[in-house]
Structure 1
Amino acid sequence: MIISHDVAGNGPAVLLLHSSVCDRRMWDAQWQPLVDAGYRVVRCDFRGFGDSPLADGPYSDAGDVLALLEHLGIESAALVGASHGGRIALTVAALRPHAVSALALLGAGMPGHEASATLRAFGAREDELIEAGDVAAAVELNVSTWLGPEADEEARESVRRMQRHAFEVQAEATGGPDREEVDLTRITAPTLAVSGAHDLPDFREIAAALPVRLPDARHLELPWAGHLPNLERPHEVTRVLVEFLADTAGPRER
């Protein structure tokens, strides 16, 4: 199965990978500016999110991403990943270094990361609420956890809508994707690791550590941001992404 996706524009390929709190709609504010900046922009829904149905057997999110790139005839792409999407971007870059021209990571997870007590407590509380049938409270838990203090009501309602949909789609799930063991030292792509000062410690620590682990990476912490900065200050994060991609992936000739 080829996961649901959108494609627009011409030029070097940029693939947007969403957080597990959201779906591909989280990139609405970045979509047209990246197309206008001269890129062929792709965004997709992982299985169990947005318009991509649950899998009926074992699967790999990274494998789905690679299959999508092959389906679209894209030999190399810059990957922009948020949270879970960032972890998948790192996995793809480690599995196929030559298929990834650049990595822009927003509050990214990391393959092999051991969750902190804070993150485990969040997961346990979310599970309790879902098992009790209180989906509305589970949605609000995610909104309050993952958005920073400056997020406006539009951003909060967007996360509510996407998270609620994900809970509905995944209600019958009996398993999840495989988690690949990968060697991050194989990654060669220039990397921007963005963290938010109001995010959980796991994701701040991952972003700060990536310049030590990768040969061509830098860390940028946004003092105003939570876990989903592109929803909190869309224009500011779009500018950061466009500038980084211009220096690495390169816009097309105009």
Structure 2
Amino acid sequence: MSRLLFLHDVDVLPGPVGALRLLAEDTDVVVPRHPGFGTPVDDVAGQWDSVADLAQHYLSDAVPGLVSDPTAGPLHLAGAGFGGWIALEMAVRAPHLFASLILTSPYGVKLSGPRERDFADIMLLDPDEVVELGWADPAACQDLRMPGFPTGLADSEYARAFADRAALARYAWKPFLHDPRLRRWLHVVTVPTLVLAGARDRLVPPTHSAELAGLLPVARFVEVPDAGHYPYLERPDEFHRLVRSFLRGVRP
């Protein structure tokens, strides 16, 4: 059975939510929680200050046997948003470990000039603004948790959401949501790559994801209609169809 390491975006609930449930029907889907976002190694991760630290953590066999056991079947790497950034950092460091790469509206690579903004400032947006910019249909928002959102949660869940945002700020505040060294190494990612973006994503514009795909040696860009920043939550059936078709076409 193929294995898929999927790295979540920020604010997304842990575990196999959305399309990941569908993919798990015939794929071994591993969905870890990022250090600093509620894991047993949060105390150690408190000393980390870059997404490169998270990439190295996962490459150091954070999930025992996942990257170190080549006999377990091909390992596919996927990530969305912030998780897509981590996945890119992993792919440039160890492309030989992965059979393919799937990116969904990833942060991490700045493509415009120093005075131009590539991504919406998710650190300053209110939760309602994140939903408005990140979903084609804000009324359909689900599987997100942010400070104060949704209403009616226990205080402990809001505390976790605030702690998650603090971790995000430590990893990604400066430079904001990108690694200036990452772009220069994209040419080493020679595994088959699928870059997905919701057509109505206003957190990471689909034009950014399309341009990023053009910088990767073996990448195909697909725009998901009627979806925002979280197509695997908003259009799970379509996301599953696209990813399943891609994975079936990848030769280990």
Instruction: Tell me if TM exceeds 0.5.
Output: yes
Q: What residue identity is the alignment partner of 1:193?
A: V
| Residue of 12, 30, 33 corresponding to 1:45 | 33
More helix by proportion, 1 or 2? 1
| Residue of 128, 141, 145 corresponding to 2:133 | 145
The alpha-carbon deviation at position 202 of structure 1 amounts to: 4.2
The alpha-carbon deviation at position 12 of structure 1 amounts to: 2.2
> Secondary structure at 2:249's aligned position in 1?
helix
Q: Is 1:31 aligned to residue 20 of structure 2? A: yes
Aligned residue in 2 for 1:177: 171
String of CA shifts for 1:151-190, please: whole Å, max 9, x gaps.
Answer: 615x276674599565332476596237583311110111
| Residue of 194, 197, 200 corresponding to 1:198 | 200
Q: What residue identity is the alignment partner of 2:95?
A: P
In 2, Cα distance between equivalents of 1:71 and 1:180: 31
Aligned residue in 2 for 1:78: 76
Q: Is 1:125 aligned to residue 124 of structure 2? A: yes
In 2, Cα distance between equivalents of 1:174 and 1:241: 27
In 2, Cα distance between equivalents of 1:210 and 1:190: 14
8 Å Cα contact 2:37-2:167 kept in structure 1: no
8 Å Cα contact 2:37-2:163 kept in structure 1: yes
In 1, Cα distance between equivalents of 2:123 and 2:87: 26
The alpha-carbon deviation at position 118 of structure 1 amounts to: 7.3
The alpha-carbon deviation at position 20 of structure 1 amounts to: 1.5
Q: What residue identity is the alignment partner of 2:221?
A: H
Residue identity (%) = 25
String of CA shifts for 1:97-149, please: whole Å, max 9, x gaps.
Answer: 101211111111233455844735x34633xxxxxxxxxxx322322222222
Aligned residue in 1 for 2:87: 89
8 Å Cα contact 2:11-2:145 kept in structure 1: no
Distance 1:157 1:215, change over 3 A: closer
Q: What residue identity is the alignment partner of 2:34?
A: F
8 Å Cα contact 2:12-2:144 kept in structure 1: no
In 1, Cα distance between equivalents of 2:122 and 2:20: 30
Coordinate RMSD, CA, aligned: 3.2
8 Å Cα contact 2:7-2:31 kept in structure 1: yes
8 Å Cα contact 2:118-2:208 kept in structure 1: no
Distance 1:169 1:70, change over 3 A: closer
In 2, Cα distance between equivalents of 1:78 and 1:65: 13
The alpha-carbon deviation at position 221 of structure 1 amounts to: 0.8
> Secondary structure at 2:228's aligned position in 1?
coil
The count of aligned residue pairs is 225
